[in-house]
A and B are shown apart, each in its own frame.
Chain A
Amino acid sequence: EAQVTQNPRYLITVTGKKLTVTCSQNMNHEYMSWYRQDPGLGLRQIYYSMNVEVTDKGDVPEGYKVSRKEKRNFPLILESPSPNQTSLYFCASSNWAAGYGYTFGSGTRLTVV
């Protein structure tokens, strides 16, 4: 089944403890992206990648890192998480050339205490 898989689905962590949220897609898509969603602020793009080793900042990149060493994986790294990074995170992938836009994962609910 074609899908974007994020792990974990839920995560509670403490301030300053480095964490990684994994994202993997099985559709051979070139594009991948990370979003965060907060009440009243909607979905905001954190980073996106147009291909292996090509990444670019979205609207809210501060406090996050990404890497794209292989086509299928696009992990989101929080080097020193803070409570304001408590949010619902979505990974997405796309073959934009086909015109269909992003396919989203099921989300990761992160709480930083």
Chain B
Amino acid sequence: DAKTTQPPSMDCAEGRAANLPCNHSTISGNEYVYWYRQIHSQGPQYIIHGLKNNETNEMASLIITEDRKSSTLILPHATLRDTAVYYCIVRVGLGNTGKLIFGQGTTLQVKP
């Protein structure tokens, strides 16, 4: 699976959009981009995933560049409860392996 690069930390003001970048320049055509987050020491939580097109769900939006070498997770109106470590993961999907490798992630601090 392709390697990802994320900034180690970011701050965001409460109520503003949080834009978390991820570089995955070696991504191949059948690899999906997944985003998870981990709040304190809880189990990681799935947020969103995508292949080529931009995706949106009730939690976030995922913007993938046309060349697929980078993506941005957008939390449209960040709250204090969104303070967490956010992981961007690239993997071959769907379903032919159970392997899922986490990197170091981005620690997002939402401030009042």
Chain A positions near chain B (C-beta within 8 angstroms)? 4, 31-33, 35, 37, 42-45, 48-50, 56, 58-59, 88, 90, 92, 94, 96-107, 109
B96 to chain A, nearest CB (A): 8
B45 to chain A, nearest CB (A): 7
Q: Kindly report which residue of chain B lies nearest to residue A57, judged by CB atoms.
A: B99
B3 to chain A, nearest CB (A): 14
Q: How far is the CA of A98 from the CA of B38 in the complex (A)?
A: 22
B41's contact among A59, A88, A103, by CB below 8 Å, is which? A88
B35 to chain A, nearest CB (A): 9
B82 to chain A, nearest CB (A): 18
A36 to chain B, nearest CB (A): 11
Q: How far is the CA of A13 from the CA of B99 in the complex (A)?
A: 29
A99 to chain B, nearest CB (A): 5
Name the B residues within 8 Å of A33 (CB-CB): 98, 100
Known contacts A43-B102, A49-B98, A101-B49; A106/B36 CB under 8 A: no
